[in-house]
Amino acid sequence: MRTPLVAGNWKMNGTRASVADLAQGLVVGAGSISGVEILVCPSYVFINEVQLLIRDCSIQLGAQDLYAAKGGAYTGAISGPMLVDAGCQYVIVGHSERRALMGDSDGVVARKFAAAQEHGLTPILCVGETLDERQSDSTMAVIGRQFSTVVDAVGIERFENAVVAYEPVWAIGTGETATPQQAQEVHAALRSMAAKRSAKIAADLRLLYGGSVKAANAADLFSMADIDGGLIGGASLEAREFLAICAAAAA
């Protein structure tokens, strides 16, 4: 039985004041939602503040990225042990914005995934095709390459403590969502790729959908057999909207 997970990716947004408001709103609302794990991933500079606000409730804390080294002379980087020390349980790796804008290759993503686990964090591995790739029928090839690079590097056993998020690049922040059927097709393919390596791990692996999820479309997406929750960007910045998405996953 897979417990649904709804994760808020706050990206490079917020001020200390707005983030405190948002976290407080989530703490108040989350108490009445059960049957779903709720996670927030603030920008690094707000992690301590958010940790203090959510520590007495069930909302989990994550980061949006990490550097693969344990520590040392890496100016500007944040390590897995630092995130654990700050109270994080999860970390996103391989988000398409990092792949496209910050040069995170499949190999870098695999090293980040391994480093996250080595230090006790649960990685959320993002995969997803661009519009060009979808239009040229390479969706499954792209997803397969992004997923299998990590599986080949770390072994399928490591996915016992990992989450995979399917985020079509063309649906991120665009208002254009994959239809529940389009998303389910890729989720089913991801689960069967995992099942070829281990049926047990595939059956328990949580697969999130991300890309313009909002309260209005969440229930339809989450009703699909292989969609176990969502990775939410824009709609996670508003407490009421995000809580409604969480409630849709719990239903």
Q: Does 139 bind ligand PGA (CB under 6 A)?
A: no
95 a catalytic residue? yes
Segment contacting ligand PGA by CB under 6 A, of 22-30, 51-59, 181-189, 231-239:
231-239
CA distance 123 to 144: 18
- Among positions 233, 239, 245, 249, the unique one binding ligand PGA when judged by CB under 6 A: 233
Unique residue bearing structure tokens 């920008």: 43
CB of 197 vs ligand PGA, minimal distance in Å: 26
Told to check if 104 binds ligand PGA by CB under 6 A, we report: no
Whether the Cβ atoms of residue 154 and residue 110 lie closer than 8 Å to each other? yes
Q: Among residues 167 and 226, whose Cβ is nearest to ligand PGA? A: 167
Residue nearer to ligand PGA on the CB measure, 156 or 217? 217
Residue 128 makes contact with ligand PGA by CB under 6 A: no
**Total binding residues toward ligand PGA, as defined by CB under 6 A:** 13
- Which one of the spans 21-29, 81-89, 106-114, 166-174 is the region binding ligand PGA (CB under 6 A)? 166-174
Catalytic residue flag (residue 119): no
Per CB under 6 A, 64 contacts ligand PGA: no
172 binds ligand PGA (CB under 6 A): yes
In the complex with ligand PGA, which residue's Cβ is closer, 94 or 210? 210
Burial string for 209-244 (b: 16+ CB within 10 Å, else e) reads bbbbbbbebbeebbebebbbbbbbbbbbbebebbbb
* Alpha carbons 188 and 207: distance in angstroms, whole number: 9
Residue nearest to ligand PGA (CB): 233
State how far the Cα of 33 lies from the Cα of 251, in Å rounded to an integer.
9
- Binding of residue 127 to ligand PGA (CB under 6 A): no
Place of tokens 């970390």: 91
129, 133, 167, 226: residue in contact with ligand PGA (rule CB under 6 A): 167
Q: How far apart are CA 45 and CA 90, in angstroms?
A: 16
Query: d(Cα 77, Cα 66) in Å, to the nearest integer?
Result: 7
Residue 96 CA: distances (Å) to CA of 38, 75, 85, 126, 149: 22, 23, 26, 7, 15
CA 197 to chain CA mean position, Å: 22
Coil/strand/helix, residue 77:
coil
CA distance 133 to 99: 15
Q: How far is the CB of 141 from ligand PGA (least distance, A)?
A: 22
Measure the N-to-C terminal CA separation of the chain; round to a whole number of Å.
Answer: 15
Stretch touching ligand PGA by CB under 6 A, among 114-122, 178-186, 229-237, 242-250: 229-237
Helix (H) or strand (E) holding 124: strand 122-127
> Least distance to ligand PGA from the beta carbon of 7, Å?
8
Give the interface with ligand PGA as residue ranges (CB under 6 A): 9, 167, 172-173, 210-213, 231-235
Q: Give me the active site residues, please.
A: 95, 167
